[in-house]
Amino acid sequence: MSFMATVSLLEAALDRQLQRDAGMPHAYYQILAMLSEAPERTLRMSDLAAITQSSQSRLSHAVSRLERNGWVRRRPCPDDRRSTLAELTEAGFAALAAAAPGHVRSVRENLFDQLDPEQVGQLRDICQAALCRLAAAPEAVVMPGARVTNPDTEGTVG
């Protein structure tokens, strides 16, 4: 219960900070961040939905809002007519870059400043162990830039 309460309250704090300082919800920041880490700053909408744990319709609504801001553009996938690509624009990258320092500061203030260096290492190890297990599932889509290593073998999983 402590874990669920912590994640819930941290998400709410990050959302409030981003709304106040950058005029975007945390969900939009996450979409922009995932696109910024992807090759050519582009992902299939279906992959982006899986990475952000969003339904297709919820992601489509969010991307529509991001398109109106000029931060994302949609285009047909050249090798699969059924798929649509979401691409981060230069304006979207600039909005993400402007929002990032405040977001990072909020993560530090709300999470890492409460921990000593040993606890930070423990948290990293705990998250890495859980991520390794979760990423091994056949249906798992791991966010771009995530380093998934197996602590038992020190090898990269994904």
Statement: residue 94 has pLDDT above 50? yes
Segments making up each domain of the chain, as ranges = 22-102
Which letter does DSSP use for residue 156 in this model?
E
Buried b (16+ CB within 10 A) or exposed e, 111-146: eeeeeeeeeeeeeeeeeeeebbeebeeeeebebbee
Q: How confident is the model at residue 152 (pLDDT cuts 50, 70, 90)?
A: low
For residue range 106-140, list pLDDT tens digits in order. Answer: 999 999 999 999 999 999 999 999 999 998 888 88
Cα atoms in the 13 Å half-sphere on the side-chain side of 51: 22
Is 1.10.10.10 the CATH classification of the domain at 22-102?
yes
Please tell me which residue, 143 or 155, carries the higher pLDDT value.
Answer: 143
- Residue 40 is which amino acid? E
pLDDT over 90 (residue 142):
no
Close Cβ partners of 64 (under 8 Å, ≥ 6 residues apart): none
- Predicted confidence (pLDDT) per residue in 6-52, tens digit: 999 999 999 999 999 999 999 999 999 999 999 999 999 999 999 99
Indicate the residue type of 136. A
Closest to 149 in 3D by CA, of 140, 139, 135, 138 = 135
pLDDT recorded at residue 145: 72
As a whole number of angstroms, the distance between CA 86 and CA 50 comes to 13
Q: What is the mean pLDDT of residues 60-73?
A: 97
Among residues 142, 32, 46, which one has the least CA distance to residue 94?
A: 32
- At residue 156, does pLDDT exceed 50? no
Q: How many CB atoms lie within 10 A of CB 1?
A: 5
- Residue 74: pLDDT above 50? yes
- Residue 141 pLDDT > 90: no
Instruction: Please tell me the predicted confidence (pLDDT) of residue 112.
Output: 96
